[in-house]
Structure 1
C-alpha cells in the first residue's frame, strides 16, 4: 500500500522522529476516512483537489485552528509529492494550494530579570532531584537546545574537559555547543550524585529520574513549569519558551544571527528570524537612548 511505503520512507530515509511519523500517518488516515465516507473512494491517490478542499471545509467546521488544518494538509501535500516522485500519480492535486491564514504565535520569552532570579536567587534542594532540575533549567537556557535533545543527550556526548556538548538534532544532524563555566560545575555536581542512583550507571542518557530511568517529556515540562511559576506570571512556561529566551537574549546582547542559527540547529535563517522581533524592540530602546537626535 502506498501509505505504508510513504510512512516507511519518512522513517527510514527522511529519519523523522516516531512522533512526527505518527502525526503524518494519523493525518493521512483521517483523509482516508473522509474520502471513504463522503465519496466512497478507497484509494486517496485518486483524490481531486475539490475533494481535498471539501475536507478542509469539514475540518474548519469542527472548530480546529487554521494552524492545525494547515499541518494536516501539509501531510497530505507531502504524500502527493511522494506519489509524484515514485511515479504513482502524474499530477499533484495540491500543487497550487495556498495555506489558510494563521495568526502569528506570540511567544513571550522570560526576561533577564526572571532568569537572574531563577538561577541566582531561587533556592533549589540540595538533593539529586534539586541539582538535576537546576541543571535542566540552566542547560536549556545556556544552550537553547530542544526538550527532545535534552532528554536524549548521551553521557558520552558531554565533554567536560573541552567545555562542550554534542547534540543530536532534527534529521540526525549533530552540532557542538559550548558550555558556560557555571554549567560545567553543575554537571560535575550532578554526575557525582547520579552515580549513587539505582540503575544510574547503566543508563546511557545524561538525565534520569530518581529511580534511575530515562527522564521523559512530561517530567521536563513539569520541572520548567513548576519552578518558573515561582518567578514568572507569564501564561506559557515551557521548555520551548526557554529555547526562545536563549535566542532572544543572545540577539539582544549583539550575537550574530548566523551564530544563533547554528547554536539552535536551524536548517535555515528563516527559522531563526522569528526570534528577532524581541531583539528589534530592544534595539529601538538602545537607539532611542543613544541617538544624538534624541538628546
Structure 2
C-alpha cells in the first residue's frame, strides 16, 4: 500500500486535483508530475502522522517539521531544497484556488543546494566524439547514421534528451538551419545548428525510410523497430560512443548539453544568449556554466604556469 493510499480523504482528493493541474493546465512531463506527487505524498503523510486531517493543519510549523525530518533521514541538501520548492508550489496553488486563506509556503526557507559542477567534454573530445561517429556511420548502416545525427544535434544545440526524442521531421528547417523545440511546460523555442549537424541530419533522413513503419508517424529519430526513439536508447548511444573517446568522462546526453553550453561561453557567447538557446527559465540556472568555465581556466592555469 502506498503512502497516498493512507492519506486522509481530504488530502488524497486535493492531491488528485493538483495532479490534474500539473498534467493538464501546466502540461508538465509525466516524470515531473511524479516527482511533485512523490514529494507531496511525503509532506501530507507527515502532516497526517502529526494528527492533521484538513488543509488547515498544513501550516508553516508542519512544513518546517517535515523538512527537518528529511534532514534527520540523511536526505541530500539538493533533495531537501527540491522538496521545499514542491511544497511552495503546492501551497501557492492551494491559496490561488481558494482552498486555504494564507500561504504558509511563502515563508518556508530551504537549505541552499550545493551546485555540483557537471562533467563536460573538452572541445577536442567533443569533436572526436562526433567525427568518429560520422566516419563510421556508413559502415554501421542506418543505426550508425542515426547515432551520428543524434550526437551532432545534441552537441550543436544543447537540447534536452526528451526534447530530442520528441522532435518531428517538420521541426527541422534546413533553409535556416534551425530546429523548433518544445521544452519544459511545452514552451517553444528555436535553436540554430551548424553545417556538420545539417549534413548528418540530411544523411539520416535519407536512411530513415529504410526503418520507418506504418506507426512511425512524423517522428524524426526512430528506434530499430521503427517507433519513435526512446530516451533510454539515446542515453545508451551517448554512453557507448563517449566510452570510445580516450580519456573522456562518462557522460549522459545531459552532459552533452552541459558541454555545448560551456563551449559556447568559452567561445565568447553571452549568458543571455546561452539562456535562450538552452531554454532556461531563470538566468541563475545558466550561470552555473560560468563557474564551469572559470574552474576549467583555473585548472589549466595550475597545470601550465610554473608559479601556479
TM-score between the two structures when normalised by the length of structure 1: 0.88
Is this contact kept in 1: 2:119–2:251, CA < 8 A?
no
Distance 1:190 1:200 in 2: 18
C-alpha separation in 2, matches of 1:62 and 1:106:
25
What is the aligned counterpart of 2:163 among 149, 165, 174? 149
- Distance across 1 between alignment mates of 2:101 and 2:80: 25
Change (3 A) 1:6 1:45: farther
In the alignment, what sits opposite 1:183?
197
Q: 1:203 to 1:276 in 2, by over 3 A?
A: same
Match of 2:111 in 1: 100
Match of residue 13 from structure 1: 25
Supply the distance in 2 between the matched residues of 1:69 and 1:285 (Cα, whole angstroms).
31
| 1:33 counterpart (45, 52, 62) | 45
Deviation digits for residues 3-59 of structure 1, max 9, x if unmatched?
2222222222222222211211221122222222x2232234422322222222322
Distance across 1 between alignment mates of 2:65 and 2:252 = 36
Residue of structure 2 equivalent to 1:274: 288
Aligned to 2:188: 174
Runs of 5+ consecutive residues of structure 1 not aligned to the other structure: 288-295
Deviations 1:175-228 (A, max 9, x none): 122221111111111111110114177322111111101111111111111111
User: Is the Cα–Cα contact under 8 Å of residues 212 and 222 in structure 2 kept in the other structure?
Assistant: no
Q: Secondary structure at the match of 2:107?
A: coil
Moved more, 17-26 or 228-237: 228-237
> 251, 257, 267: which one pairs with 2:265?
251
Report if the CA contact (8 A) 1:35-1:44 is conserved.
no
Q: Say which SS state the counterpart of residue 291 (structure 2) adopts.
A: helix
The answer as to whether partners of 2:137 and 2:148 remain within 8 angstroms in 1 is no
TM-score, normalised by the number of residues in structure 2? 0.85
The root-mean-square deviation of aligned C-alpha atoms, in Å, is 2.5
Is 1:225 aligned to 2:239, yes or no?
Answer: yes
Structure 2 unmatched ranges of 5 or more: 1-12, 302-308
Question: Which residues of 2 match residues 54-133 of structure 1 at below 5 A?
Answer: 54-121=65-132, 123-126=135-138, 127-133=141-147
Note the C-alpha offset of 1:258.
1.9
Deviations 1:103-153 (A, max 9, x none): 221112100110122122465342111111111111000011111110001
Moved more, 219-228 or 11-20: 11-20
Contact residue 142 and residue 246 of structure 1 kept, 8 A = yes
Number of residue-to-residue matches in the alignment: 288
CA positional deviation for 1:256: 2.4
2:204 counterpart of 1:193: no
Would the alpha carbon gap of residues 8 and 286 (structure 1) be closer, same or farther in structure 2, given more than 3 Å must change? same
What is the CA deviation profile of residues 226-255 of structure 1, one whole-angstrom value per residue up to 9, with x for unaligned ones?
A: 111121545541111111111111111111
Provide the C-alpha distance between the structure 2 equivalents of 1:200 and 1:179, rounded to a whole number of angstroms: 30
